[in-house]
Structure 1
């Protein structure tokens, strides 16, 4: 038997405008500028810059009265109203003028990494076949400067892709040439080979010779810092070992990183906010690039009025009215969305600044308070997802450096007095303890947990290990120095 059943269900759906607003909030400053340019290019009703107003004083009250009545009769007030014609919106944001120097974090540019390497091949006498092999090998070098592929696979690819018939012996011979390119160490197939290539290009001395010997004959012992075994194996003094290690420590384990601007375009970081301390008070400003001057085109407003005054409209005129209204509506919405974006950014960052006031005044990371997304969302009356979009994509310039806003968020835990403390505080203390340890006898995770307990932080050894790994600090054995 068929039964009809009704179920009531509440669900929240975002409108297309809300979805677009969320996307705008998430954009970085550079991406927002690109979006702004795209909107202006695609919508002739949207204009940037300060609006030049006509002399409104020339109109009499009678004219204004007639105009208002006319607009009501035409029912176009939602398309052309005072908000449309005067919204040259701008925040007091950083108070930059167009001529001011933009505050950005410098980034490196230059010649492509692979182009740089290929240009050096011209210094070697290579026939056409050898040059093709060399160029193929250069193309196989990754960003770190290594060739991660097997020689056998490279031989096959040369045959199938480049129609170059060769063998492993010839490829290895050309590889030796590639490994002579600058920066030293490129073209290596392992860390061991990378370090050896660099050492062998250095001026000969006792420390260099011993360093080469250690890497060639005891690389595993060296990597695991089993220094006592190395001393016994080579029958050398601690001083000799120190000198050899000093030679190795000068080498670059990722030679590809020595050439900036390889195949990636490194995006410059433009701070979205700036926090300054003025008379012991925090001052927050929004980057002016996030606060453009926008207004609806007066020409399009006038165009709509002109079309609307025609009583007997042709089909083409009706289409034109629809098009103009659509563009005016889109321009008005975009201006409102930009306003909302600016207000949301400032509201969110201001709440974060107030919550972490002690940190922003001192720069002391141990002053960071526990803070999760919900804390800020509740303070400003917005959704957690909105705060998340701001935290994960925006940067703030502070007196202590430029930080991703996400940096200021952390979970909490209790200390021995029952007070909530930030995990950031514990990590900072852990980092300081390790930085000041005896490098000949580095502290194990168990000993670190004991020290933290003595300082009032009750955390388990496994938690210490987790925090240490998050700080990219190796285990005690690998921190040991002779």
Structure 2
């Protein structure tokens, strides 16, 4: 096969370092942005905190030219820190209509994890070294909810192949029984049924506890499906006693490990609002929460250093040229980072202002029913940005209002029409559904068909499957599982 040479001309779009910086910084919430700025201050000595000086080091940097024969090119150094970054992730634009119904509580710190607590309790036992290793391995396999979902035979095989310990399953079971005596009650259970039984066994023995254990051991399937009439007949008790039994069981903790997991999760997800919307005399005022975002400037010493190189560039050695290129690269990187921060703030400000303008009534009154239908495209048109930019701004950002702190995704919802032909938000329908379910007779909970009829009476013509979808989005179980005695 003969070799051929040919010229080809084509257009190719490449992101500049500044554009890449802006993209990555835009999607960061305030907490991560603070850490990113701190890291940049450590990595780049040409970047300082404080107000920018009047002299612009860019004018100095632009005067510095190099021959193509230099070992290191300006572009190589300038782009080096950015071309190794991960590709920009894809964004699922249709996810921003999902609802966020629960408000987060104020996070608190967690002194130790679940595994650390169990290991600490293990040290108080009198197990030999080999049994202690087995116990540590068992604890390591307990998940964040407090369950051990691996069979003992699999753990026995792991110990043999990984630690060269030939431990039979019955001995592992004895060690597991010791761990199941640790706090919290129910730890190390294989499933929910065993978890509830472990907690009941810790209680003081009484007729009520015995009956509750009998329900979990023999009628657990009926209990989970809320077939209380079958349990009442099987136990031969009246409705009042059955209420006491059910009440005792539902007070047990189905996820004993969550006492640690929730605290740690909340600690890792401290909410600091990115925006603040305040109401004064019937008017709204929007501001960015820049309280912990420092002002940045280019280091003057590095600017003077580069000035010295430019004044003596005719007699510069190869090492001096490389040093000058390094200084210029750091100055460029600092200037790009400062510009990227400014562009990020402007993008966030314009995007949030568009959301406030579209949801003005809600920010003024806090009435959920006043929320208007809103999708990413609506905000993109108002703010003048691409939909992907609005997606990045909306991701993991929160706004503080006079009525609480909300994620930006809270304000995005689907559009639908009532029987009068008016455009309404799906959130309004969900609010009605929640109100109906909260006020229902728990002995005869409302089915999806009945909820559909109620909505039609109120002027919302919605299919039953849509009602079921909204109910599931609000994490509300079906009528059968909401039934109580």
Taking structure 2 as the reference length, what is the TM-score of the superposition?
0.84
- In the alignment, which residue of structure 1 is the partner of 2:416? 413
Task: Name the counterpart of 2:345.
Answer: 342
Partner residue of 1:165? 166
What is the aligned partner in structure 1 of residue 240 from structure 2?
239
Which aligned pairs between 1:12-411 and structure 2 lie closer than 5 A? 13-50=14-51, 75=63, 105-260=106-261, 266-289=268-291, 291-310=293-312, 312-315=314-317, 316-411=319-414
Unaligned runs of 5+ in 1: 1-5, 57-66, 78-103
- CA-CA distance at 1:442 after TM superposition: 0.3
- Is the Cα–Cα contact under 8 Å of residues 350 and 383 in structure 2 kept in the other structure? yes
Number of aligned residues? 438
Higher mean displacement: 434-443 or 131-140: 131-140
Change (3 A) 1:220 1:432: same
Aligned partner of residue 395 in structure 2, secondary structure? helix
- 2:427 alignment partner, one of 415, 424, 427: 424
Measure how far apart 1:171 and its partner are: 1.5
Q: Structure 1 residues 48 and 74 mapped into 2: Cα distance closer, same or farther (>3 Å)?
A: closer
Please state how far the C-alpha of 1:262 moved relative to its aligned partner: 8.0
Which residue number in structure 2 is paired with residue 437 of structure 1? 440
Closer, same or farther in 2 for the Cα pair 1:290/1:123, shift >3 Å? closer
- Deviation of 1:380 (Å): 0.9
Give per-residue Cα distances to partners, 1:113-161, cap 9 Å, x unaligned: 1110111123333233322222221111100000000111111112222
Q: Is the 8 A contact 1:114 1:263 kept in 2?
A: no
Supply the distance in 2 between the matched residues of 1:440 and 1:144 (Cα, whole angstroms): 31
Query: What displacement does 1:261 show?
Result: 7.0
Q: For 1:326-345, what per-residue CA distance to the aligned partner results, in whole angstroms no more than 9, with x for missing partners?
A: 22222222111110001111
Preserved contact between residue 22 and residue 344 of structure 2 (Cα < 8 Å)? yes
Cα distance in 1 for partners of 2:250, 2:185 equals 15
- Residue-by-residue CA offset, 1:396-433 (whole Å, 9 max, x unaligned): 12233322211110110111111111111111111111
- Tell me, which stretches of 5 or more residues in structure 2 are unaligned? 1-6, 66-104
Contact 1:416 1:456 in 2 (8 A): yes
State whether residues 146 and 187 of structure 1, in contact with CA within 8 Å, keep that contact through their aligned partners in structure 2.
Answer: yes
Deviation at 1:176, TM superposition (A): 1.3
Moved more, 337-346 or 255-264: 255-264
Deviation, structure 1 residue 12 = 5.5
Question: Relative to structure 1, is the Cα distance of residues 39 and 313 closer, same or farther in structure 2, using a 3 angstrom cutoff?
Answer: farther
Q: Residues 303, 467 of structure 1: CA spacing in aligned structure 2 closer, same or farther, 3 A cutoff?
A: same
Higher relative contact order (CA 8 A, sep 6+): 2
Q: Distance in 1 between matches of 2:293 and 2:31?
A: 13
Asked if 1 retains the 8 angstrom alpha-carbon contact of 2:275 and 2:288, the reply is yes
Cα offset, 1:445, TM superposition: 0.4
Per the normalisation by structure 1, the TM-score is: 0.85
Give the deviation of 1:10 after TM superposition.
7.9
Alpha-carbon displacement from aligned partner over 1:225-273 (angstroms, at most 9, x marks no partner) = 0011111111111101100011011111000001247887723222111
1:16 CA drift (Å): 3.7
- Further displaced range: 233-242 or 279-288: 279-288
Check if 1:450 corresponds to 2:453.
yes
Distance 1:375 1:262, change over 3 A: closer
8 Å CA contact 2:61, 2:306 repeated in 1: no
Following superposition, which runs of at least 4 residues in structure 1 exceed 6 angstroms of deviation?
Answer: 6-11, 71-74, 261-265
Contact 1:272–1:286 (CA under 8 A) maintained in structure 2: yes
For residues 33-54 of structure 1, the C-alpha deviation after alignment (integer angstroms, 9 at most, x for no partner) is 222122222222211124577x
Alignment partners' CA distance in 1, 2:33 and 2:314:
43
